[in-house]
Amino acid sequence: MNARVIALRSPADGSALGEVPITSETEVREASRRAEATYRSGVWSRLAPRDRAAVLLHLADLMQRDLTLLARLDCEDAGKPITECLQNDVPSSIESIRWFAEAVDKQYGRTSTAGGDVLAFTEREPFGVVAAILPWNYPLAMAAWKVGPALAAGNSLILKPADATPRSVLHLAALAAEAGLPDGVLQVLPGDGPTTGAALADDPIIGALSFTGSTATGRSILTASAHSNLKRVSLEMGGKSPQILMDDALAFGDELIDGMVESAFLTSGQNCTAGSRVLVHESIHDAVVERFAAAAARLRVGHPADPATQLGPVIDARSAERIVGAIDQSRHEGATVVTGGKEVDVAPGGHYLSPTVLTGIAPDAEITQQELFGPVVTIQSFRTRAEAIEHANDIPFGLAASVWTTRLDDALVLARGVEAGLISVGEYSEGDLTVPFGGWKQSGFGGAEKSLRAFEQWTREKSVWIRHRGA
């Protein structure tokens, strides 16, 4: 057995939360073989779709029963505000499991017009053994996005939670067993990236792997896939999402500022779709800066266990140092810190950053190009719609964008012109479960989370050609 462990620490105050083992390469191989044997046995893969759905719906009921516990685990492990976990993360996770359970028998093949003596059709079949590597910022919610379609399709799934945030995912696995999921269908392997994650990426049995996390790690997973069994890889990685405000954006009133604040500072800006770049028409620049900075300054930074907290800590000291360093570098380059820009004394051992708004940023400044994953927003002005699109696209990422305008022409031109997988107009939104979610450019590729298209990540298409003979 592997004796190495990860010591879990609370981002709120550095206190000990326990420890979990680092799953070794040998143990990953054993888990994939166990998953393969379970898949081939048919105990889950050949179960009628509605019977699989019944187990997943029972799992959702058990998650609802343990909602408070699941919220507390993510609050403690990731430093997320407890209110955010109770009202958003856990309910959305339960909804994901229910939605994909109910979609299990709504997958259809196609027939081809191949002639009177031929029946040609396609169908989608599960890969068999699949895996997912999860991020730390939405531990349970991202697990649910993978568990729902992967298991509904009939696969055996191996989950690796992020190093720092395994406990809600481990509890999810326990609830799945309680719901009647057969042994070996869902396995959660805690561990680190270099050991456990690398072994999953290199495993020759795993047929598909979904990864949510950093661009650097995504590249290494692609390399491992190429060197092993060419498993299908889907990647959801970094973002540097623009919020584009046309000259009529102030017509939205308080909805504008509320939406901008949610986009920028949800989960303390530790969100892949965070609207960390505000591009605003020059005619309303000063008014937007004043109102947005004032709203940011009013946000309550506090201990994540406090229901009144709106921004908790960043995940660790290294992140805080990197974020503050980027702010200081921007200030050195001539930027103005309108509000924030420093750590806040909330609890010893935690790293809390005040919501930060920067202006006077050069278009090609490093802070506009790299994902900070913290509560920092830059505001830049533009004159024309074409200039807004140019600034929005002049980055390596293409995950999401928000557009604020009341004019249909502007909305359509911007929505079609911005290079990103998800565009929201008139609000900040990632869409509901009926809408695909996936990035362009260095934000990822290989499939879509959510919607019926999510099943495409976890299944492969087969064509069947049958020649029949008449009497």
- Residue 21 has a pLDDT of 97
- Residues classed as catalytic: 236, 272
- Residue 96 has a pLDDT of 98
Centre a 10 Å sphere on the Cβ of residue 108 and count the other Cβ atoms it contains.
9
- Residue 402 has a pLDDT of 98
Q: With residue 440 as reference, give the H or E element that holds it.
A: strand 440-441
pLDDT tens digits for range 132-175 = 999 999 999 999 999 999 999 999 999 999 999 999 999 999 99
Domain segments of the chain: what residues? 5-237+443-466, 242-425
Return the CATH number of 242-425, one of 3.30.420.40, 3.90.1200.10, 3.40.50.1010, 3.40.309.10. 3.40.309.10
pLDDT tens digits for range 30-50 = 999 999 999 999 999 999 999
pTM score of the predicted model: 0.95
346-365 mean pLDDT:
94
- Residue 185 has a pLDDT of 98
Percent of the chain with pLDDT over 70: 99
pLDDT tens digits for range 403-440 = 999 999 999 999 999 999 999 999 999 999 999 999 99
- Token pair belonging to 199: 């072994």
Which among 123, 166, 127, 172 has a CA at the least distance from the CA of 145?
A: 172
Taking phi over 0 as left and psi of -120 to 50 as alpha, with beta for the rest, 444 belongs to left
> Considering the domain 5-237+443-466 in this protein, what is its CATH number?
3.40.605.10
pLDDT tens digits for range 222-241 = 999 999 999 999 999 999 99
pLDDT tens digits for range 322-336 = 999 999 999 999 999
Q: Is the pLDDT of residue 3 over 90?
A: no
Please give the residue that has the higher pLDDT: either 112 or 201. 201
- Token pair belonging to 262: 């949610």
pLDDT band for 114, please (50, 70, 90 cuts).
confident
Q: Is the pLDDT of residue 97 over 90?
A: yes
pLDDT band for 471, please (50, 70, 90 cuts).
low
Strands (E), 328-427: 336-339, 343-344, 352-353, 356-359, 376-382, 397-398, 400-404, 422-425
Q: Is the pLDDT of residue 189 over 80?
A: yes
Q: Are 172 and 63 in contact (CB under 8 A)?
A: yes
- Residue 294 has a pLDDT of 98
- Residue 1 has a pLDDT of 47
**Average pLDDT along the chain:** 96
CA distance 176 to 186: 8
Q: Are 193 and 214 in contact (CB under 8 A)?
A: no
Q: Is the pLDDT of residue 2 over 70?
A: no
- Residue 470 has a pLDDT of 73
